[in-house]
Structure 1
Amino acid sequence: MDRNFARALPLVLKHEGGWADHPDDPGGATMKGVTLATFRRYVKADGTKADLKAVTDQQVATVYYRHYWAAVNAQALPSGVDYAVFDFAVNSGPSRAAKYLQSVVGAKVDGRVGPDTIAAVSRMDPAEVINRLCDARMVFLRKLKHWPTFGTGWSRRVSDVRKDARNMVGRSADIERVPVPVPRPTVPAEVEQKVKEKSGLWQWLTGLLGSGALGLGWLTGMDWKAIAAGGGVLVVVILVLVILRSQIVAAVREIKGAVEGQGA
């Protein structure tokens, strides 16, 4: 999947734990952070709590990718910021996470992480975006009526997210791959000589064609006999090209085979 998803998912799951069905949890029954409603949406429409308990790792990854990661366009965000927004989305919903991100970077707050939001994020230091987002997230969490019950765990989670997200900034997943130059294989002397010979032949043909083209221009002002003679010259040139074409193709294949044999 995209860039940092494989690195971010285990960090999210660390805070989600296993099976939970706390009566005060507004999300209801969950397994590895996947609610029954979300499980039914992405995995099994008529799934039961027993089905949710037996959810596979691949199913969990599918749910998290489609319902949270892709929903906040995390793949388009810088390393660290992508994880911070992703975890926020898992904990409090994709739309809210997107809106808080937009608020801290000064973008239009519409809950959709599009080009304008991405551009606004890119103009800021990723570490600063992470700090501001985590601060805003804590302000939101402290206002919730379930803060007395879950506040300690939420605080620990946001603290870990802040630290882990900042550690991701500038790491390899956020750096474009630099193409590794591949050395050209050494061409044997006999092959090199054939290349030179065929190159000389091609140059001769090119010159012949050029002369033919000039001849056509010159013949336009001559009588029909001269034109017929010029036409005969062109026919000869075409015949020569037809005859030599097979030789040129064969030579190119021979050279290509020799070069590939050197690089194997």
Structure 2
Amino acid sequence: MVATNFQKAVDHVLASEGGYVDHPQDPGGATNLGITRATLGRFRGREVSKAEVRALGLTEATAIYRQDYWRAVQADALPSGVDFVVFDCAVNSGPRRAILILQEALGVSRDGLIGPVTLRAAGTTEPTALIERYSALRLAFLGRLPTASVFGNGWRKRIAAVQRNALAMASSAAPDPLSSKNEEYGQMGNLRTILLSRPIWANLVGLASIMLSLAGLDTTGLDTAGFSDALLQVIAGGSFIASSVLQLRRRNT
């Protein structure tokens, strides 16, 4: 769940939406920065003119995106990449439709409301597969609309771009499966270096000899160097066996 995806998602939406348009066959009517006249009027709490839509600034548009779309689909609670596809669909087709498609993609009850069941299913589903299924279902929904013959080509291009960017988000957010293993290998390597250090063991054996002498034991005949070498051979053999077993276990997991 990556809250910082919001600005990135808005940037991608703005790249698709562009500036002011007022297409006669677009049911949304006058639109600027992806914000329709009705949406802007709802945000301001009053009816607005086309001129006000045309004059809409980026700061207010971003605030509308956050309140009316990002938060409406609880995007901050969705996995990275999934949050973007749902958000973009909400902008294009409304939050309820975006949630319905998500629920269909997840195979949960479709009520158009994001609750714990939907969020849990989204959080436990592999993001890449979910993004691809969501995009296919969204495209199928748009293809059934009466205006598909007019806007269909643009919708297909948009959804392809959204899917591509969403997959990139999901990929960058995914933890490196080797990172923890590499860290463990690094720690093991450091420990192995210490254990196989001849000076360290020689000093330890020498210290042990002194302690035994202080305890009244005769250590004059003790070959500390030979004893240190013998210890190193035992440790090296044990280290090799442990390392081999660990590598075999990791390959099988």
Please give the range of the TM-score, normalised by the shorter of the 2 chains.
0.5 to 0.7
- Report the aligned-residue RMSD: 1.8
Partner in structure 2 of residue 153 of structure 1: 154
Task: Tell me the number of residue pairs that the alignment of Structure 1 and Structure 2 aligns.
Answer: 175
2:126 is the counterpart of 1:125 = yes
Partner in structure 1 of residue 141 of structure 2: 140
2:6 is the counterpart of 1:5 = yes
- Aligned ranges for residues 196-207 of structure 1 at < 5 Å? none
Alpha-carbon distance in structure 2 between the residues aligned to 1:43 and 1:126: 36
> Relative to structure 2, which stretch is displaced further, 39-48 or 156-165?
39-48
**Higher Rg:** 1
Q: Map Cα deviations across residues 131-179 of structure 1 (whole Å, 9 max, x no partner).
A: 000000111111111111101100000000110000000435999xxxx
Q: Which amino acid aligns with 1:86?
A: F
- Using the aligned pairs only, state the percent identity: 42
Partner in structure 2 of residue 90 of structure 1: 91
Q: For the Cα contact (< 8 Å) 2:33–2:58, is it kept in 1?
A: no
Q: Which amino acid aligns with 1:87?
A: D
Residues 166 and 46 of structure 1: CA distance in aligned 2, closer, same or farther (over 3 Å): same
> Relative to structure 2, which stretch is displaced further, 161-170 or 38-47?
38-47
Partner in structure 1 of residue 70 of structure 2: 69
Q: Which amino acid aligns with 2:69?
A: Y
Residues 135 and 172 of structure 1: CA distance in aligned 2, closer, same or farther (over 3 Å): closer
- Aligned ranges for residues 1-264 of structure 1 at < 5 Å? 2-43=3-44, 45-172=46-173
Q: Map Cα deviations across residues 183-224 of structure 1 (whole Å, 9 max, x no partner).
A: xxxxxxxxxxxxxxxxxxxxxxxxxxxxxxxxxxxxxxxxxx
Shift of 1:49: 1.0
Q: Map Cα deviations across residues 20-75 of structure 1 (whole Å, 9 max, x no partner).
A: 10100011110011011110111362321111111111100111111111111111
Alpha-carbon distance in structure 2 between the residues aligned to 1:174 and 1:75: 18
Q: For the Cα contact (< 8 Å) 1:4–1:79, is it kept in 2?
A: yes
Q: For the Cα contact (< 8 Å) 1:72–1:85, is it kept in 2?
A: yes
SS of the equivalent of 1:72 reads coil
Runs of 4+ in 1 over 4 A off after TM superposition: 172-175
Q: For the Cα contact (< 8 Å) 1:43–1:59, is it kept in 2?
A: no
Q: Which amino acid aligns with 1:17?
A: G
> Relative to structure 2, which stretch is displaced further, 84-93 or 163-172?
163-172
Alpha-carbon distance in structure 2 between the residues aligned to 1:172 and 1:143: 34
Q: For the Cα contact (< 8 Å) 1:4–1:173, is it kept in 2?
A: no
Q: Which amino acid aligns with 1:124?
A: T
SS of the equivalent of 1:95 reads helix
Residues 144 and 63 of structure 1: CA distance in aligned 2, closer, same or farther (over 3 Å): same
* TM-score (normalizing by structure 1): 0.63
Q: For the Cα contact (< 8 Å) 1:3–1:173, is it kept in 2?
A: no
Identify unmatched segments of 5+ residues in structure 2.
Answer: 177-253
SS of the equivalent of 1:171 reads helix
